[in-house]
Structure 1
Amino acid sequence: MNFFITLSGKRVKQGFFIIIISFFTALFYFSQASVHVPVLSGKDGPKAIYKGDKGIALTFNIGWGDVQAEPILEILEKEKVESATFFLSGSWAERHPDLVEKIKNLGYEIGSLGYAYEDYTEIEEEKIRRDMDRSIEVLNKLDVKEVKLLRSPTGHFDKRSLQIADELGLTIVHWSLNSQDWKNPGVQAIVKEVQKARKGDIVLMHASDSATQTAKALPEVISIIREKGEMVTISHLIANGKVKTTIIP
């Protein structure tokens, strides 16, 4: 009888051990399969990307202005930056087709910043949809094809705008590190913010005319990012690593 009890105990332990091993094996394969597939939606609905885990994405918003964008592009070209993502408002792109062409020719990624630079949390759903749609139409006419990325014009978004973007085949991209360059706090203050960058960060900068210190800070910003990791586009960050998402309650 004692032998029977001992043997049963061993079998129970062995069975438990096999279950544990099977669980972790399944978990391993699931995690490996998920590495290249960002979770953009779930039971709570579409989500916005704000961070990855490989590389650092340098991004620029351009909503308006005639002065700052070109010198920023010249610095990026001079510094041999091959990967950056520009979010352009449709109304700005319409007025500056030459700069849109230059961004394209330099090989930079282009996403939408909406059309009229309105706060999506303060306008009705149909107007949100028209604004998103119109921006994509403008970019397509300027030969920017297959636009898949959208940054909410003012940085504000809600479940409605997330859902509408998803229906239009767009992924809303937020940021994990704000350079604060739009406040014009001083070149070194901008640089200090970017020094906080870590792998996977999406860095927000601006090439609108309101950001008058961005161009001066940019060479040092580029140097810092290169020291910390590979500079990548948003699409690369999404496709080649896990991404972190957020949803507005």
Structure 2
Amino acid sequence: MRKLYILDIKKQKKFIIIIPVALFVAFYLYLQSTSLFTFSSQEDPAALHNGNKKHSSIAITFNISHGTEKVEPILAQLAKLNTKATFFVSGEWAERHPDLLEKIVEEKHEIGMLGYQYSPYQTEDIQKIKNDITKAKTAFEKLGYKDTYLYRTPNGYLNEEILKAAELQGLKTIHWSINPNDWKNPGTDKITDHVLSNIRNGSIVLLHASDSVKQTEKALQKMLPEIQLKKFSLVTISELITNVDIKQQELK
């Protein structure tokens, strides 16, 4: 006896539509995940100094190694203009102030590691630097931030050995392209003018949120609206990385 197979055309059409959409989404997510790490690898470690110059996105970053007085006022300024930022904090500071670290994350900002103990790497041998990186990573994991993968060295000192050490720990090293030296407190206008006169597509701005900075909060009041008027998108470092499709310049 011959069997009859009856096809539901409506269901078939839905199925035909769903397959290519699912494949497209999967491919897009794959590209997004792989593009996160195109600028550096274990075979060829590098530090990110700039994002993609074809994209009008920039990243504001803050270093924190001591004190608690400036964090919340700076967060308040960022919140006023719904601005995302990335905060690099030392492991030691994170352990001492987990409540402030949690507040940074709750307000949708990104965190990265600033080593464990904020001391200049140029005076340390490579084994001590490796130990510092490991200790920082362990500190963040114990605090519940196991997925933290962004890393910045204290004072920004870098060499090939440090880059390799960070890469082997699964970390991506982030430098900067604009540094107004706000920690020196040169004046609100000087901080603002330096950033605005140097900002370009893909810029990474270095600022600080430790107690030593006295003018950064006010500089943000003037700086952030001007950046938005220039039609730049303020993003986190991870968002900036997704737009990177060119190899970074070799470390000099």
Shift of 1:108: 0.7
Secondary structure of residue in 2 paired with 1:71: helix
In the other structure, the counterpart of 2:72 is 70
1:57-115 deviation line (CA, Å, top 9, x unaligned): 0100001112111211122122222x210000011111111100100101111000001
What is the total number of aligned residue pairs between the two structures?
215
Kindly name which structure, 1 or 2, has the bigger radius of gyration based on alpha carbons: 1
Distance 1:113 1:100, change over 3 A: same
215, 218, 230: which is aligned to 2:233?
230
- Rounded to whole Å, the distance in 2 between the matches of 1:243 and 1:192 is 29
**How much has 1:243 moved relative to structure 2?**
5.0
Runs of 4+ in 1 over 4 A off after TM superposition: none
Three-state SS of the structure 2 residue aligned to 1:72 is helix
Change (3 A) 1:176 1:165: same
Partner of 2:146: helix, strand, or coil? coil
Please name the residue that 1:61 is paired with: 63
Give the stretch that moved more between structures: 114-123 or 136-145.
Answer: 136-145
Instruction: Please give the alpha-carbon distance, in whole angstroms, between the structure 2 residues aligned to 1:241 and 1:193.
Output: 25
Distance 2:114 2:245 in 1: 24
Contact 1:177–1:197, Cα closer than 8 Å, also in 2: yes
Assess if the C-alpha contact under 8 Å between 1:52 and 1:244 holds in 2: no
For residues 148-177 of structure 1, what are the alpha-carbon distances to aligned partners after superposition, in whole Å with 9 as ceiling and x for unaligned? 110111111111111100100111100001
| Per-residue deviation, 1:182 | 1.1
Tell me the residue number matched to 1:46: 45
User: Where does residue 24 of structure 1 map in the other structure?
Assistant: none
CA distance in 2: counterparts of 1:212 and 1:40, whole angstroms: 35
Unaligned runs of 5+ residues in structure 2 are: 1-30
SS at match of 1:245: coil
Contact 1:183/1:211 (<8 A) preserved: yes
The percentage of aligned residue pairs carrying the same residue is 43
SS in 2 for 1:132: helix
- Rounded Cα–Cα distance in structure 2 between residues aligned with 1:143 and 1:64: 21
- Counterpart CA distance in 2 for 1:61 and 1:136 is 17
Counterparts of 1:53-202 in structure 2, within 5 Å, are 53=52, 54=55, 55-81=57-83, 83-195=84-196, 196-202=198-204
CA–CA separation in structure 2 for the residues paired with 1:141 and 1:157:
27
**Distance in 1 between the 2:210 and 2:245 partners?**
31
- 5+ residue gaps, structure 1, are 1-32
